[in-house]
Structure 1
């Protein structure tokens, strides 16, 4: 059967971080991504996924193997490449995580496939990635009509104290911060002390959230939420205990601390469970965790329908397509509580993409990408870190 899709290559990339990034469950010293190149009707597309074993059960090795096993005859004939809006509608209707993973969905692998397909489709039609959003009438209620730069969050991880990270910022720059996300320690008491440091440096006007990465047991999570609310006035707590422990999350909410889901919210079904059980008030959406741009957009739509607010997050060390596609969504979402953009300018002093990663650190602002597609191609420096996939340690995020 003839079709316009050709999978050129799927490989893993592990790039050393210039500075480690640490939270209670893991210290990152290198990025871990799967990169996919394909051709759609003769036009090249480049995609990325960030497999994390304890989030989706995927490793770079399993994601690469799933992408290599994909039969283009299954997907290619569905894509009406000559009709942009129709092709987007078809992709929005497909369950790519299950197409690749069967009964165990593979959202990170799906994100690599979808970002590559959308990149090629947009390039074929001379469109930026934001045109994909314009082709989704079902999402009009959560989108603005034009792109806009977004103010981005400052994430304080465990590789530095809050004072070390925040006092390094000149006062004028520190004064422009709108949201700080603090990574939690194993101890709720020590975490509350770190939160108090942030409050002492920035005052009460800055929104403060604390990300536990699912590291506290239910009792500890309830105690920690109470301490953070009473001592530091934290605005919300993110993934305070094991994923989908709906009863414990509900108790934390009932105690007065809004809960944000991350690992507990991979798709719209999770969002619906969270709303039905009153277990959360907010959801952290990440392109790779959700399976791509279109599933992430669908989660934002469902969250709004159910009265949950949205944060747009990132994976540590996103190489290129993921952060670019994430910025496209951030630039158009009408209502977000926070937007993360990563610290690739610190982690990768030598640019990995052409054009390189950009962010305005003085104004804490990330511009939307201009396109076409997601606007990026691999830089020469990336080639040294791309290889056939290999097994990796469990518990990486």
Structure 2
């Protein structure tokens, strides 16, 4: 039996804003979902971003509320852990939830919750899901470590303010730095020169324009960056899926990384056919969950493209755990992002809390069954409850106990107040 218990919108203020050419964010916004499958509760998360997948928090909630759980029959009928993973991998959840207008963030919330419950039912960590996918074996490395994580310099700080403030030993351990581009390609080139002077030649440097430059400016900007700052690749230099423009940028000698232009394997296939990219930034929410992200990484590898494992800014918990799980196992990653939840949210939003070793640039996945996380009490004041499918929406997150509280509300409350595994 599968029952969706509650859908929440979480809007949490950030201690420091994060800015790029497409958006400035001062609070996170995630859709959180709790469900019960075969008696075990799962907790999931999606991060809707209109400028990435055309989803809002409200549209993702609506998609989840409209879901007929009978459509998940392959999962309900699956036998054993591997069977449940195979059944879930066979479902196109973004299409199931969104129809012609795919709903990847809503799908990520549902899928991460389902995988959490499946893993807890079978007493498995989330990493075991990857090994239950034989179709992905060639894209996976052996267990045993996590690659170093990148440093992202957004527009709220200059390279000097962030990189220059690092102790020399910490800066020397960096392997990759991503710079967010300014609206002006010329000013972006100056920003890249500053970063390169601080880093020296041994650190990979990329620039992310977040689709913010017009096509003619994108080509000029790529040329400036190549000539002036020894930038290793440029990410999404113009509006999404401008395959011809991206092909010309690559032909001129600047490798292109896709992000907003690649939300599924079909996008990767189109880009490869056009010679429009050398790398792909994969993010769990953007792709529709852990398994679609893995499938997109497999397709990129088949097309000869390297993968960066990225994040959505301000992920609450299940998304960053799923991302860390993928980062620890995907082979030959070009770069790994990990977010700065420890800086943005001083009061931890999960149990156990987000942790990253900022001196050694390491962020391994959390231990435990499932994705290893449960919400902390600090998260509760920032939630708006959007009820179970078919119920009224818009009630406050915390409701006084009463004799009218239904079984779903009581059981779901256990998830948000008990923090063991």
TM-score for the superposition, normalised by structure 1: 0.96
Q: How does 1:137-286 map to 2 (within 5 A)?
A: 137-286=134-283
Query: Over aligned residue pairs, what C-alpha RMSD do you find?
Result: 1.2
Is contact 1:148–1:368 with CA below 8 Å preserved after alignment? no
Q: 1:111 aligns with which of 108, 115, 140?
A: 108
Q: 1:50 aligns with which of 44, 47, 51?
A: 47
Whether 1:66 and 2:66 are equivalent positions in the alignment is: no
Q: Distance in 2 between matches of 1:334 and 1:93?
A: 23
Which residue pairs with 1:334 in the alignment? 331
Q: Distance in 2 between matches of 1:17 and 1:78?
A: 37
Q: Distance in 2 between matches of 1:80 and 1:314?
A: 33
Is contact 1:81–1:121 with CA below 8 Å preserved after alignment? no
Q: 2:345 aligns with which of 334, 345, 348?
A: 348
Could you say what secondary structure the match of 1:342 adopts?
coil
Q: 2:357 aligns with which of 338, 357, 360?
A: 360
Structure number with greater Rg is 2
Encode CA deviations 1:182-203: one digit per residue, 9 max, x unaligned: 0000001100001000111110
Could you say what secondary structure the match of 1:167 adopts?
coil
Write out the 4+ residue segments of structure 1 that deviate beyond 3 Å after TM superposition: 388-391
Which 10-residue stretch deviates more, 177-186 or 366-375?
A: 366-375
Q: Distance in 1 between matches of 2:10 and 2:240?
A: 28
Could you say what secondary structure the match of 1:110 adopts?
helix
Which residue pairs with 1:395 in the alignment? none
Encode CA deviations 1:74-133: one digit per residue, 9 max, x unaligned: 214643455110110111111000110111110000000000000000001110000100
Could you say what secondary structure the match of 1:32 adopts?
strand
Structure 2 segments unaligned to the other structure (5+ residues): 387-392, 395-421
Could you say what secondary structure the match of 2:333 adopts?
coil
Q: 1:29 aligns with which of 26, 29, 33?
A: 26
Q: Distance in 2 between matches of 1:57 and 1:204?
A: 38
Q: 2:8 aligns with which of 4, 7, 11?
A: 11
Which residue pairs with 1:84 in the alignment? 81
Q: Distance in 2 between matches of 1:300 and 1:80?
A: 28
Encode CA deviations 1:180-234: one digit per residue, 9 max, x unaligned: 0000000011000010001111101100000000000110000000000000000
Which residue pairs with 2:36 in the alignment? 39
Which residue pairs with 2:304 in the alignment? 307
Q: Distance in 1 between matches of 2:4 and 2:78?
A: 16
Q: Distance in 1 between matches of 2:118 and 2:21?
A: 40
Could you say what secondary structure the match of 1:243 adopts?
coil
Is contact 2:74–2:87 with CA below 8 Å preserved after alignment? no
Is contact 2:318–2:371 with CA below 8 Å preserved after alignment? yes
Encode CA deviations 1:11-52: one digit per residue, 9 max, x unaligned: 100000000001112110000100000001010000000001
Which residue pairs with 1:321 in the alignment? 318
Is contact 2:31–2:60 with CA below 8 Å preserved after alignment? yes
Which structure has the higher relative contact order (CA within 8 Å, separation 6+)?
A: 1
Could you say what secondary structure the match of 1:15 adopts?
strand
Whether 1:134 and 2:131 are equivalent positions in the alignment is: yes
Encode CA deviations 1:297-354: one digit per residue, 9 max, x unaligned: 0111111111011000000000000000000000001110000000000000000000
Encode CA deviations 1:56-76: one digit per residue, 9 max, x unaligned: 111000101111121222214
Decide whether aligned partners of structure 1 residues 225 and 9 sit closer, same or farther in structure 2, where only a CA change above 3 A counts: same
Q: Distance in 2 between matches of 1:81 and 1:319?
A: 30
Whether 1:20 and 2:50 are equivalent positions in the alignment is: no
TM-score for the superposition, normalised by structure 2: 0.91
Q: Distance in 2 between matches of 1:126 and 1:242?
A: 44
Whether 1:120 and 2:111 are equivalent positions in the alignment is: no
